[in-house]
Amino acid sequence: MKNREARLLAPGKVEVFDCDIPKVEPGKVLVKMEYCGVCGSDVHFFKDGRIGRTIVNFPFVQGHECSGVVAEVGQGVTNLAVGDKIVMEPGVPCGSCEHCRSGNYNLCEKVVFMATPPHDGAFRNYVSYPAEWCFKLPEKVSTLEAAMIEPLAIGVYSAHVGDVSNEDTVVITGMGCIGLMTLMACKARNVQKIIVTDVFQNRLDKAIELGADVAINAKDEDVVARVKEETEGKGGTVVFECSGYPASMAQAVYLLKRGGAIVQVGTTAEPVPYQFNELVKIEGTIKSVFRYKNMFPLCIKLIERGDFDLSKIDPEIFDFEDIAAAFDTAINRGNEVVKCVVKF
């Protein structure tokens, strides 16, 4: 057994080093990693060394969309055994604060979340992790699919927060991985019509493949005018903003039907020139999504029974030792690749 980890040494510089295999404490398991996705937050930390007020203290290990196989079981662990395929929910809440006790553990202020400073992530061959937050995969669900459960959880939770149904026409701005997962979640809820936007045609093509009814390239068309055209001048009943770009965030209110709701999924540390007066005039609502809660077991079941086919995301796979190329692709080849995943 040999352990290696990818350390972010400075903005734009990542290298792989030898490291110790962690000791397995009571209540934890040693996981031999198999796959870990490159998330948008990973990209921001990689490029800038920070996201808003959250600043990286170098060296830093990234990665939190992860799956693997149990290699060793700590004392007191009864829910897992050596050889089990698992997916790891990357946030471990305190369990005792008011938010945890009310079931809203995604709001826990003491949460230890992988790859969020000061906590290192999962770009390692071996990781020790609390067994309570490792979920066993059924035979039908591969560890590659499992590495995409974390973004799927965001999409499923977003559709839940938006409370969409077959009566709704939804608009989803931004067809990165999170936007595509939100699209799939809305499709699973039999939404009446799904309109999506992006600036990369490959992502719009993927959205159509996954069930979008209308795809608008924001580089080539007036998004507001086209959405109005597709909705008889009314706008979407729910607008999911998944791009995280200030201009797209500000535009969301103009895509919204009177009395509708904006679900803010994407994040930005930049100022957003939001016209709240426009929101007031149509009595619109803004809802927000912060990660997810109680979604991993549900997502596993939905994948197992065929509600979601994550193979259609068709991620580009990179060897762990070539992780720098994965980041380069995620940053510079968005017009070609939807999702980058590292294989160990």
**Host H or E run for residue 207:** helix 201-209
Over residues 327-332, mean pLDDT: 96
343 neighbors 34 (Cβ within 8 angstroms): yes
Over residues 47-59, mean pLDDT: 94
210 neighbors 312 (Cβ within 8 angstroms): yes
Over residues 319-335, mean pLDDT: 96
Note every long-range contact of 315-322, with CB atoms under 8 Å and residues 24 or more positions apart, other chains counting: 315/37, 315/144, 315/148, 315/339, 315/340, 315/341, 316/340, 316/341, 317/144, 317/341, 317/342, 317/343, 318/342, 318/343, 319/343, 320/4, 320/6, 320/16, 320/123, 320/125, 320/344, 321/4, 321/16
Can you give the pLDDT at residue 294? 96
Over residues 44-58, mean pLDDT: 94
* Tokens standing for residue 199: 């600036």
Q: Are strands 28-37 and 65-73 parallel, antiparallel or unpaired?
A: antiparallel
pLDDT band at residue 218 using 50, 70 and 90 as cut-offs: very high
Asked if the model's pLDDT at residue 189 lies above 90, the reply is yes
Question: Which of helix, strand or coil describes residue 84?
Answer: coil
Can you give the pLDDT at residue 332? 95
**0.75 exceeded by pTM:** yes
pLDDT band at residue 300 using 50, 70 and 90 as cut-offs: very high
How far is the C-alpha of 165 from the C-alpha of 163, rounded, in Å? 7
124: β partners: 5
Tens of pLDDT, residue by residue over 66-113, are 999 999 999 999 999 999 999 999 999 999 999 999 999 999 999 999
pLDDT band at residue 194 using 50, 70 and 90 as cut-offs: very high
Tens of pLDDT, residue by residue over 29-41, are 999 999 999 999 9
Can you give the pLDDT at residue 269? 85
pLDDT band at residue 282 using 50, 70 and 90 as cut-offs: very high
Asked if the model's pLDDT at residue 141 lies above 90, the reply is yes
Asked if the model's pLDDT at residue 1 lies above 90, the reply is no
Over residues 198-215, mean pLDDT: 98
Asked if the model's pLDDT at residue 144 lies above 90, the reply is yes
Average pLDDT over the chain reads: 97
